[in-house]
Amino acid sequence: KVNDGGPRGAFVVLEGLDRSGKTSQSSKLLSFLEGLGHPTELWRFPDRTTSIGQMISAYLSNQSQLDDHTIHLLYSANRWEKSSLMETQLKSGTTLIVDRYSYSGVAFSSAKGLDFEWCKAPEIGLLAPDLVLYLDIPPEKAAERGGYGGERYEKLEFQRKVAECYQALRDPSWKIIDGCQPMEEIQKQFQEIVLDHVSACKKGRPLSHLW
């Protein structure tokens, strides 16, 4: 059913460590695509607006404690609860720029020591992005940018482990962009790559599933 290959919006995911610049770059991408007249929405995970998202938010701000497996499954459930809307939007021709997805899910939980394959399992069957843009920045550089807030994972030691886990997840289709370049430079590179995918999806490209 999903695999009909008709014209649709592109599903673009931005990944990277905390403070790598994903959030600024994703809003820039949104205005760029909108400016060209492409219907586009900016999404992010965790989506803190749902009731599952509120549980995640409370956990991240240390207002609640949850077992590592439990929080992992909540993150995954938070993606599953949005997945049919995601499919509808893509099929209606809307491009989705998504700030974090299953890759964050696996990288952050396996950085805590959970089994890598176990972490991947609940993501099986979710829509696969057309493009993963990885903003590559050394954990030390990210920490120097300051503004590591008080959230649970915003600690240098932990971010180092997350970087290693992202490394293990990377596949050759990912676009790795040097996150230490000036913002405008990154923006230009993003724009070019994303436009290619928007055009390809507009012509028709089947949706696929993880992993």
User: Least distance in Å: CB of 158 to ligand FDM?
Assistant: 9
Over its C-alpha atoms, the chain yields an Rg (Å, rounded) of: 17
Query: Which phi-psi region, left, alpha or beta, contains residue 125 (left: φ > 0; alpha: ψ -120 to 50)?
Result: left
CA distance 160 to 86: 31
Nearer residue to ligand FDM within complex by CB, 123 or 130? 123
Q: Which of residues 158-197 bind ligand FDM (CB under 6 A)?
A: none
Q: Which residues pair with 132 in a beta bridge?
A: 13
Indicate the pairing of strand 131-136 with strand 95-99. Answer: unpaired
Binding mask 84-103 for ligand FDM (x = CB under 6 A): ----------------x---
Examine residue 45 and tell whether it contacts ligand FDM (CB under 6 A): yes
User: Least distance in Å: CB of 1 to ligand FDM?
Assistant: 26
Let me know: does 121 contact 67? Beta carbons within 8 Å: no
- Helix, strand, or coil here: 42? strand
Nearer residue to ligand FDM within complex by CB, 38 or 134? 134
* H helix count then E strand count, the chain: 8, 5
Q: Which of residues 6-35 bind ligand FDM (CB under 6 A)?
A: 18
Binding mask 100-139 for ligand FDM (x = CB under 6 A): x---xx--x-------------------------------
Q: Which residues of this chain interact with ligand FDM, rule CB under 6 A?
A: 18, 45-46, 60, 75, 100, 104-105, 108, 153
